[in-house]
Amino acid sequence: MAVQGSIYEGAVVSTENQTKGKGQRGNTWLSAPGENLTFSIYLKPKFLKPTQQFELNRIVSLALFDVIKSIDNDMKAFIKWPNDLYVKNLKIAGILIENNINYQQISQSIIGIGLNVNQTEKLPSTATSLKVITEKTFALNEVLSSIISRIEHYYLMLRSNDVRVIHQLYEQQLYKKDKVSFFEDSKGKFNGIIRGTSTEGNLHIEDEAEYIRKYQFKEVRFL
Ligand SMILES: O=C(O)CCCC[C@@H]1SC[C@@H]2NC(=O)N[C@@H]21
Per-position pLDDT tens, the chain of length 223: 566 667 899 999 999 999 999 999 889 998 999 999 999 999 999 999 999 999 999 999 999 999 999 999 999 999 999 999 999 999 999 999 999 999 999 999 999 999 999 999 999 999 999 999 999 999 999 999 999 999 999 999 999 999 999 999 999 999 999 999 999 999 999 999 999 999 999 999 999 999 999 999 889 999 9
Predicted local confidence at residue 8, as pLDDT:
94
- 82 burial level (CB within 10 Å; 0-12, 13-18, 19+): buried
Torsion angle of C-alpha atoms 88, 93, 95, 96, degrees rounded to 10: 120
Spell out the alpha helix ranges (H) of the chain: 54-71, 130-134, 140-159, 163-172
Spell out the alpha helix ranges (H) of 41-139: 54-71, 130-134
Span 180-222: which CATH code? 2.30.30.100
Q: Write down the ipTM of this complex.
A: 0.99
Start and end residues for every CATH 2.30.30.100 domain found in the chain: 180-222
Element (H, E) at 98: strand 90-102
Atom 16 (ligand 1): residue with closest C-alpha? 112
Distance (Å) from CA 58 to ligand 1 centroid: 16
Q: List the end-to-end C-alpha distance of the chain, in Å, as a whole number.
A: 31
Say which amino acid occupies 68.
Answer: I
Distance (Å) from CA 77 to ligand 1 centroid: 19
Predicted local confidence at residue 155, as pLDDT:
98
DSSP letter, residue 52: G
Say which amino acid occupies 39.
Answer: F
Predicted local confidence at residue 157, as pLDDT:
97
Start and end residues for every CATH 3.30.930.10 domain found in the chain: 12-172
Which CATH class for the 12-172 domain? alpha beta
Q: Ligand 1: residues within 6 Å at CB?
A: 18, 21-24, 27, 29, 38-40, 83-84, 94-96, 112-114
Predicted local confidence at residue 6, as pLDDT:
79
